[in-house]
Structures are given as structure tokens and as C-alpha cells.
Amino acid sequence: MRLSCLAIICLLAFATQHSQAEEKAFPLWSDGAPGAIGTSETDIPTLTPYLPDPSIATGAAIIVCPGGGYAHLADHEGKPVAEWLNTIGIAGFVLRYRHAPDYHHPIPLMDAQRAIRTVRARAEEWKLDPHRIGIMGFSAGGHLTASAGTHYDSGDPDAKDPIERVSCRPDVMAPIYGVISMGEYTHQGSKKNLLGENPDPELVELMSNEKQVTPDTPPTFLMHTVEDQAVHSNNSLLFALALREAGVDHELHLYQKGRHGVGLAQDDPILSSWPDRFADWLRVQGFAAEK
């Protein structure tokens, strides 16, 4: 009987370790992040992987960027979203990126770019397709998402770090009630936290992502509400117009009702439909499992 109990304890310990291994945050840079001003938790950008059941896994992955005005990270826009992605066969990677008051542009974008490179470079480890790596984000995390989709490079082939050799261009992106512009319709708190009190007009132009769209911008899914009092829906409308003019595949869902920051909106009988619309779009893109 003693041996049997010991065996059970060992099995439970193994199961716990296995679960933690799948959802344990790891630093984006093993030897310290560039530009870090300290060694506390907020100085260390991380990714937390959430992997789908192998029976429905599609080999696609999406990095999730919570919102928070570039001042904090909203929990309900992180783990729950990654877990929802798992239900449609997609691996979710929640990004903890650096933000104000200690960090400003270009640090958050650097973290997002590194996250994309990391998942792509280590795709085989997680049984992923390196050509199906996307990014999504909410509010200010939506701005970070749109920034990653309009400010990217193909990697440095001469880099000593193999992760830096791969592209940081996402294959799809989804800013959800996202801050897109740093201009007239911006969220002033996000702008100040990202660019500072009196940013250079050229920097404002550069980080107004609706002005940075090209024909090579990744396919994009957008969701916003007309009633959003924090981030004007014109952010998504201007981005959709720029995508249309550049000939980039995109889909926009503009709901009449709904407050800002709803996440998956599970308690809203109308807005709770947006994840289904997103899932359908992801199926069109070859990311999500079929119904």
C-alpha cells in the first residue's frame, strides 16, 4: 500500500510539473532585455505559452498583447484570450511587455518583435508552423499589435542570436478596440505613456499606424464599438480604410453598443459574438480548426 501511495504522489507531481511547463512564463532574452533599467519583474518581458489539445491543434500561434494604456497590463485580456484560442486549435502566447512609467517607445515594440521572432524561431519545439504566427491585442495592446504589423524587418542574418535572424513580421494581426493613431483620435493616456509629454511630430506620424500601411501589411481583423468612450472607433475605421486602399485583406466588425475594455465580452449578449466572428476569419486565414 505504501508503494501504491508513493506512486500516486509521483504521478500527481509529474502531472503538475507537466502542466506548469506548458504555462510557465519565460524571459524573451535569457541574458537580460536590451534597454532594461533594472532586474525586477517589470523589467523582464516574458511570454507564457498556452498550447491546445493536440487532437485539434492546427499548428498556428497567436501572441496576445493585453491592454492597459501602456501603463499596466489587463489580466482579462491575457490568459482568458489564450485559453479561448486553444479551443479553436491555436497556440496562445501571452506577452508581458514593458511599459510606462519606466519604459517608452521603442521598448514595447521591441518586446513584441522579439516575441514574434521567438515563437517563429522555436516553432518546431511547440509543433508550430513558422509561417502561421500572428499577433492580437486590446486597446493599447491593439496599438502594439498594429505597430508590430506595420514596423517589422526580415531579421539580421549575421546576428549571433539565432532568434534575431528570423523575421518579426506577423502573418496575421488583430487589433481589438485598438488605439491605432497617435493623432486626432488617439487615446491621450496611451500616447503620453508611449511617446512622452511632448513627442516629436515625426515620431507621432511614425507611430500613427494608419499612416504606415503598405501592400505588405499582414491580413487584419478589427473589432470596435461606436459607443467606446475611451478609444474612438475612428481608430479602427481609419486603419480599415488604409488597408482597403493598400489592397490588404481585412475584416472590420463595428458594433453599435458596448463599452471599452470588454475582453471576450462573455457577459454581453451581443458583443460576445465577436470571438466567433474572429474564429471564422481565422479559419479563412488557415489558422483555426474547422467547426
| Dihedral sign computed on CA atoms, order 197, 199, 201, 204 | negative
CA 41 vs. chain centroid, Å, equals 19
CA–CA gap between residue 118 and residue 45 (Å, rounded): 12
Q: What percent of the chain is modeled with pLDDT above 70? A: 92
Q: What is the pLDDT of residues 35-79, one digit of tens each?
A: 999 999 999 999 999 999 999 999 999 999 999 999 999 999 999
**Average pLDDT value over all residues in the chain:** 93
E strand or H helix that includes residue 93: strand 91-96
Residue 128 pLDDT:
98
In the chain, where are the structural domains located?
A: 44-284
pLDDT band for position 23 (cuts 50, 70, 90): confident
Cell 524561431 sits on residue: 121
Residue 131 has pLDDT above 50, yes or no: yes
Pick the CATH number of 44-284 from 3.90.1150.10, 3.40.30.10, 3.40.50.300, 3.40.50.1820: 3.40.50.1820
CA–CA gap between residue 83 and residue 87 (Å, rounded): 7
Q: What percent of the chain is modeled with pLDDT above 90? A: 92
